[in-house]
A and B are shown apart, each in its own frame.
Chain A
Amino acid sequence: MRVSKPAGGVSRRSFVKSSSASLILTATAVIHPIEAWGLEAKGLAPAAVQTLIQASRDIYPHDRLADRFYALAVKDFDTKTAADPKLKALFEEGVAKLDAAARAAHGVPYVQVGWEEERVALLKRIETTPFFKTLRSGLVTGLYNQKELWPLFGYEGSSADKGGYIDRGFDDLTWL
Chain B
Amino acid sequence: MATVTIQVNGRAVRAEKGEMLLAVLRREKIDIPATCNHEAVEAFGACRLCTVEITRDEWKGWKNYVTSCLYPVEAGLIVRTHSDTVIELRRTLLDLQLARHPRTPLIQQMAAEYGVLKTSYEEAPDGDDCILCALCTRVCDAMGFRAISTVGRGHGKRVAPPLDQPPPDCVGCLACAQICPTGFITYKEFGAGREIWGKQFQMVTCTRCGAPTITREFADNLAARREIPREYFDVCDACHRAELAGTMGRIAQWNREEAAR
Is B truly associated with A?
no
